[in-house]
Amino acid sequence: MRFFFRSRKFKIMLTVTCIVVSLALIGAVIGSAFSPQNGIFGAATSSITQFFNNISKEVGSFFEKFESNDELMQENLSLKQQVNDLTSDLMDFEKAKQENEMYEKYYGIKEQNTDYIMEPAMLISRNADDPYGSFNINKGSLQGIALLDPVITDAGLVGYISEVNPSFSKVTTILDTAISCGGLDRRTRDAGIVSGELSLAEQSKTRINNLLRSSAVTSGDYIVTSGGGVFPEGIVIGTVDSVHNESYSTALYGIITPIVDFSELRDVMVITYFTGQGNAGE
């Protein structure tokens, strides 16, 4: 509104108003000298006086409208602020609602693992140049996130925290060759080491290595974490697609389809503490 008073339009209006007021004063002086009954001068003066009275009323009406518009503008600004406040409250409510829904999904995990301390997080960006599908989440050291903290969904294992900043962190997935995780066949209890491979990562798969030739691991079996290091025991990693002979030893290896669909990830849970948590990779 303050820009209106600096505008050329306002300056012209102000000049016109000054002229009208000046002429009105002149008319008033003339009117006092020549009354309306004094013939032609009186009649002319009466007409001039009436003319300026009308202009004065129009000017007054304009400024009344101007004042009314200013009040409406202030009211509009107040309403906009109320809308912004309500929008902010709604966003906070939606955030709290989403977190509550997440806790509900993880209730079973927490109930079975009372030692877990977990922090919900949201995926904020994917690292497009990483063939192993790493991504960033919206929680960091300020929320208690630390290096090597396990990252899960309600379905199973995602990976671990590989970089920590105050307000965000990087997650390395189980598709990565950097991860070496103890794996266990849930049906047969045969053990191996789960680690990524570039050619398999391109298919969103990983593998379990060092299976004994005598192991009974077969297609469809569930592989879970064996515990004892970075990852707690019993978190589902994925299912076995197929089992093969190692080319350089008598051991076997299995191809695993992870239980988590990394392309659909939106929300995750970081386990910031569990009993027996280690400080180094498995």
Residues 92 and 126 in one domain: no
User: In the predicted model, what is the mean pLDDT of residues 251-277?
Assistant: 95
* Residue 135 reports pLDDT greater than 80: yes
**CA of residue 174 relative to chain centroid, distance:** 25
Residue 51 has a pLDDT of 60
Residues 58 and 174 in one domain: no
pLDDT band at 228 (very low <50, low <70, confident <90, very high): confident
- pLDDT digit string (tens) for 152-180? 999 999 999 999 999 999 999 999 999 99
Concatenated DSSP letters for 44-55? HHHHHHHHHHHH
Phi, psi of 168 (to 5 degrees): -155, 165
- pLDDT digit string (tens) for 18-63? 665 565 566 555 555 544 445 444 555 556 556 656 666 665 666 5
The CATH number assigned to the domain holding 159 equals 2.40.10.340
Residues 81 and 203 in one domain: no
In a domain, 56, yes or no: yes
Q: In total, how many domains does the chain have?
A: 2
In a domain, 108, yes or no: no
What is the pTM (predicted TM-score) of this model? Answer: 0.65
- pLDDT digit string (tens) for 195-225? 999 999 999 999 999 999 999 999 999 999 9
User: What's the token pair of residue 223?
Assistant: 């592989």
In a domain, 110, yes or no: no
pLDDT band at 231 (very low <50, low <70, confident <90, very high): very high
The span from the CA of 98 to the CA of 121, in Å, is: 11
Residues 96 and 120 in one domain: no
Residues 199 and 282 in one domain: yes
User: What's the token pair of residue 63?
Assistant: 């400024």
State which residues form the domain around 29. Answer: 4-102
Residue 169 has a pLDDT of 98
Residues 130 and 172 in one domain: yes
Angle, helix 8-33 to helix 39-105, in steps of 10 degrees: 150
* Residue 68 reports pLDDT greater than 70: no
Residue that has been written with the tokens 């693992």 in this structure = 113
